[in-house]
Amino acid sequence: MAGITRILVVEDETDIAELIKHALERSAGLSVSIVASGDAALKAAADAPPDLMILDLNLPVLSGSEVCRILRARPATAQVPIIMLTARTSEADRVSGLDLGADDYITKPFSLKELAARVRAVLRRRGRADDGAAAVYEGAHLRADFEAVAVHVDGDPVKLTRREFELLKFLVENRNRVMSRDRLLERVWGYDRDVETRSVDVHVGRLRAKLGAAGPQIETVVGLGYRFVE
């Protein structure tokens, strides 16, 4: 099935799962599989990592949050895009989900058309991330091979989460230009609407700390956003 984009839906409510499958296969031309528990999601992803996962949080055996955490810790699935789909609507839940490494967060009840649009948006971003536009960056302290997903500072490897890696890549690709928080949310997180921007600040802070001597290359431009400087 080369060339087919495979989606894994992890949802224990059969009616909802079937509706998602039907909507995506009809409107987006995708191949959709369904599993109904957290442990089944991990097994399916280990057997054949999907191109994207739609993950409910309230699942039998293992919660969606735990599934996301485990997938992000495994090299084979660390880069699999994940859209969390949940009845949890609080800002704290949203920020927590994004901080775990989710690419998007949709609350129930939801529009099937909007879900299909979000899926297409995440897949487009994944395509841009894989296009090799900024293959390697090398500075005084930092060396980032974006194609190999390898970051070193002063010769030492630095372990970044998927979100931190994509944030660094986007800032480097747009170095010496100020990127607003809204722009970062749109291009790295995939939001095209007003949402909580605190997660951007949290991720930038963590990224700076991990980059050590190269951290100051990510500057805060007060009132505007962030800029990666040479």
pLDDT at site 132? 45
33-42, 57-66, 127-136, 215-224: least confident range: 127-136
Q: Are residues 30 and 57 in contact, defined by beta-carbon separation less than 8 angstroms?
A: no
* Alpha helices, H only, the chain: 14-27, 38-47, 64-73, 91-100, 112-129, 162-173, 181-184, 198-211
Q: Residue 131: pLDDT above 60?
A: no
pLDDT at site 99? 80
Q: Are residues 97 and 75 in contact, defined by beta-carbon separation less than 8 angstroms?
A: no
User: What is the amino acid identity at position 175?
Assistant: R
pLDDT at site 227? 94
For 82, the enclosing helix (H) or strand (E) is: strand 82-86
When comparing pLDDT for 98 and 145, which is higher?
Answer: 145
Q: Where are the domains of the chain?
A: 6-129, 136-228
The rounded mean pLDDT for the chain is: 86
Percent of the chain with pLDDT over 70: 90
Q: In the predicted model, what is the mean pLDDT of residues 199-209? A: 91
Q: Residue 3: pLDDT above 70?
A: no
Q: Categorize the per-residue pLDDT at 157 as very low, low, confident or very high, splitting at 50, 70 and 90.
A: very high
Q: In degrees rounded to 5, what are phi and psi of residue 161?
A: -70, 165
Give the CATH architecture of domain 6-129: 3-Layer(aba) Sandwich (3.40)
Under DSSP, the state recorded for 4 is P
Q: In the predicted model, what is the mean pLDDT of residues 153-163? A: 91
Q: Are strands 150-153 and 142-145 parallel, antiparallel or unpaired?
A: antiparallel
Q: Residue 133: pLDDT above 70?
A: no
pLDDT at site 134? 52
Decide whether 6-129 matches 136-228 in CATH topology.
no
For domain 136-228, the question of CATH label 1.10.150.120 is answered with no
Q: Are residues 110 and 116 in contact, defined by beta-carbon separation less than 8 angstroms?
A: no
